[in-house]
Amino acid sequence: MLAINLIREKKEFIIERLKVKNFDAEEIINKVLLLDSSRREIQSKTDMMQGEMNLISKEIGSLIKDGKRDEAEAAKQKTYGLKEEIKILSEKLIPIDNDLKSEILRLPNLPHESVPLGHGADDNIEVRHRGNKPQIPDNSLPHWDLIKKYDIIDFELGIKLTGAGFPVYKGKGAKLQRALISFFLDEGEKAGYQEVLPPIMVNEDSGFGTGQLPDKEGQMYHATLDNFYLVPTAEVPVTNIYRDVILNADILPIKNMAYTPCFRREAGSWGAHVRGLNRLHQFDKVEIVRIAHPDHSYESLEEMVKHVEGLVVKLDLPYRILRLCGGDMSFTSALTYDFEVWSAAQKRWLEVSSVSNFESFQANRLKCRFKEKGDKQTRLAHTLNGSALALPRIVAALLENNQTEAGIKIPKVLIPYTGFEMIS
């Protein structure tokens, strides 16, 4: 949510910036400014009247204390008209407040100045790439065939238990999941992230705080009886730890990470490229989350990119890093880097991480603020997060890229975690 001050002061700037996201903000902003000024006008009036009411009430109090009943009664008469006026005005304010809020919520976050113009994936800019695409034999199999061949992930069984997109990991397949999670968490710990194990269902306030609600309601599983949502990413519970808090500036940046299963309905996004592990309703992910000082949040972002890069390097996967263009970025992000790894049998890049700076956009929804030592004013913090990493596509790439006649070779760094060197 953009700050109202910013909208008041930098209307033209916002309109220009949002063009990068191919978003025409002019109409909404005009509406916001109109609603905002009538809101302020009404509030000034009611504040004044309420002040008058308070004065009279105090007067009545002391009159009664002095036993001046008649005068007190006369003073009471004065309040009735005022009270009615205040009521009318404050009732007028309610829809204005609601409209104002919902209009502001329609505005996406401003893209950072380095965000390239563009409409879709083709316009993203490759920041760098590393690793050679492995040469695998012509009879190599895509991962959905490999998992069957070695019986490590069972989609049909998942369908029986739950439905499509809820795979069952078995034997070495299950162990590989656990190994990756542990590896990612250990690497995160080395990089100074505190591990948290949060609830994987959250309430409405949390869903709102990170921006899933109200717009992306249909993307989350909803436990209606209790009105809880299954988390689509650990970002939601971990970032919401800092909802409604005022932090001391000197503890920034806060660095947390969490492993959680992630649940996504993926309504309307099933198509040709989603076979096997490419898209699931439930998957595992380790997420890194930071709360940063606005002056240093981009340093944080770069550190996070480096960290994620370290992971794919250690797993020996060919990867590329993309700076997302305005049209491909999320509603809430100011700058996003995507990581993609090469999937040798599918012969395509798979997105395995998305690292973003949300600047104060989420923080404004969350009311996550900080205070500089000795300063009276609170300021909005910056929030950032990134996958480090999401498992399924990493597994897909590992299986495909490392397949040999004898079986699938496990990357060196994972062997201490798996306890085996080969899936065969």
Partner RNA sequence: GGAGAGAUGGCAGAGUGGUCGAAUGCGGCGGUCUCGAAAACCGUUGUUCGCCUUCCGGCGAACCGGGGGUUCGAAUCCCCCUCUCUCCGCCA
- In the complex, the residues that contact RNA under the rule CB under 7 A are 4, 40, 43-44, 46-48, 50-51, 53-58, 60-62, 64, 76, 79-80, 83, 246, 369, 371, 374, 376, 378
Instruction: Closer to RNA by CB, 80 or 406: give it.
Output: 80
Cβ 193 to RNA, closest distance in Å? Answer: 25
For RNA, which is the closer residue by CB, 66 or 189?
Answer: 66
State the chain's maximal CA–CA distance in angstroms: 103
Nearer to RNA (CB atom), residue 64 or residue 136: 64
Nearer to RNA, 314 or 379 (CB): 379
- The count of residues in the chain is 424
**Nearest to 396, CA basis, from 139, 136, 145, 138:** 145
Beta-bridged to residue 355, according to DSSP, are 337, 386
Is the CB of 72 or the CB of 141 nearer to RNA?
A: 72
- How far apart CA 120 and CA 239 sit, in angstroms, is 28
Which tokens in the block code for residue 272? 């040709």
CB of 81 to RNA, least distance (A): 11
Least distance from RNA to the Cβ atom of residue 48, Å: 6
The three-class DSSP label of residue 22 is: coil
| Distance from the Cα of residue 308 to its chain's centroid | 17
The least distance separating RNA from the CB of residue 360, rounded to whole angstroms, comes to 13
Q: Give the angle subtended at the CA of 200 by the CAs of 275 and 324, to the nearest 5°.
A: 55
Q: Report the relative pairing of strands 254-263 and 194-196 from DSSP bridges.
A: parallel
Q: Which residues does 164 contact at the CB level (< 8 Å), separation at least 6?
A: 155, 158, 281
- In angstroms, the first-to-last Cα distance of the chain is 51
Nearer to RNA, 72 or 121 (CB): 72
> Does an H or E element contain 318, and which?
none
- What's the burial of 421, exposed, middle or buried (CB within 10 Å: 0-12/13-18/19+)? middle
Q: Which is nearer to RNA, 43 or 219 (CB)?
A: 43
Smallest distance, RNA to C-beta of residue 101, A: 12
State the nearest-atom distance from the C-beta of 15 to RNA, in Å.
21
Least distance CB 75 / RNA (angstroms):
7
Sequential DSSP letters for 204-238: HHHHHHTT-TTTTGGGS-EETTTTEEE-SSTHHHH
**Closer CB to RNA, residue 237 or residue 411?**
237
Residue number, 77 or 132, with CB nearest to RNA? 77
Question: Least CB distance from residue 41 to RNA, whole Å?
Answer: 7
The identity of residue 195, as a single letter, is: E
Instruction: With CA atoms as reference, report the closest residue to 210 among 127, 115, 291.
Output: 291
* CB neighbours of residue 404 within 10 Å: 12
Cβ 151 to RNA shortest distance, Å: 29
